[in-house]
Amino acid sequence: MGRLDGKTAIVTGSAQGIGAAFAKALASEGANLIVTDISDVSECVASIHSSGGNAIGAKVDVTSDDDLSAMVTLAEKEFGPVEILVNNAGLFANLELKPFWEITNDEFDLVMKINTRGVFQAVKACLPSMQKNGRGKIVNISSGTFFYGPPGLSHYTASKGGVFGLTRNMGRELGDQNITVNAIAPGLTESKGVQGNEGFHGGRAPTVASRSIKRDMLPEDMLGALLFLCTPDSDFITGQTINVDGGKINL
């Protein structure tokens, strides 16, 4: 029997990589998944089905209220009220690293819109469903970049700093509604997207050297923290961020 049997979960940005790993982990614990992305999610959905899990895919732009409303309607129709929301969608692996003075206003706005406002919009969309159900678990994916400000990623770092702030505020505002809001701050993770961006290649060795656990970080390294934050084990924890980076940053 899984720890999340029968619970309805949504993972944004879960067509591949970290998001797909999250969706599969939740499904393995018995959750019914709505797998969403702007890209094709069929591979992730098929993988969950082949492992005996339940999942439905949906094309969702997290900056579109219409898409998000349709996502929640689909979840409630197929599986019941939303109990778990994992805000993973964001821009990172395809970003071009450049000093802040070379980042255009449009580039900055796009990263903030997807990475920060997308979290804000997704939570607002799912909140009524969680309120009707009387409980909820929200997990926002932030980033360890907020703690040290890596050169070339000022727009990304700012956007993930915004996720820290939203996590704290939402956790405080929703605590009396039996809805917890927490975040995971991963280090540089060897997803397929990151491996395909040459801009990140030079940072790999220094990143590993700076960790207490000196190896590459994989998407699977976050699954323990994710499941902890989605199960009753974390019922008395909210507004917090778990730093998962092999000990690079000690808070």
HEC string of the chain equals: CCCCCCCEEEECCCCCHHHHHHHHHHHHCCCEEEEEECCCCHHHHHHHHHCCCEEEEEECCCCCHHHHHHHHHHHHHHCCCEEEEEECCCCCCCCCCCCHHHCCHHHHHHHHHHHHHHHHHHHHHHHHHHHHHCCEEEEEECCCHHHHCCCCCHHHHHHHHHHHHHHHHHHHHHHHHCEEEEEEEECCECCHHHHCCHHHHHHHHHHHHHCCCCCCECHHHHHHHHHHHHCHHHCCCCCCEEEECCCCCCC
pLDDT of residue 43: 97
Task: Evaluate whether 22 touches 86 at the Cβ level (below 8 Å).
Answer: yes
CA nearest 62: which of 134, 14, 18, 21? 14
Which amino acid, one-letter code, is at 7?
K
pLDDT band of 200, cuts 50, 70, 90 = low
Question: pTM of this prediction?
Answer: 0.94
pLDDT of residue 198: 58
Taking residues 56-67, report their average pLDDT. Answer: 98
Taking residues 72-76, report their average pLDDT. Answer: 98
CA 105 to chain centre: 25
- Identify the weakest region by mean pLDDT among 19-28, 53-62, 186-195: 186-195
CA 151 to chain centre: 23
pLDDT of residue 199: 59
- Identify the weakest region by mean pLDDT among 163-167, 185-189, 205-209: 205-209
Catalytic residue list: 156
Task: Please report, rounded to a whole number, the percentage of residues in the chain having pLDDT higher than 70.
Answer: 93
Question: When comparing pLDDT for 96 and 38, which is higher?
Answer: 38
pLDDT of residue 211: 75
pLDDT score of 195 more than 80? no
pLDDT of residue 209: 76
pLDDT score of 62 more than 60? yes
pLDDT band of 51, cuts 50, 70, 90 = very high
pLDDT band of 105, cuts 50, 70, 90 = very high
Average pLDDT, the chain: 92
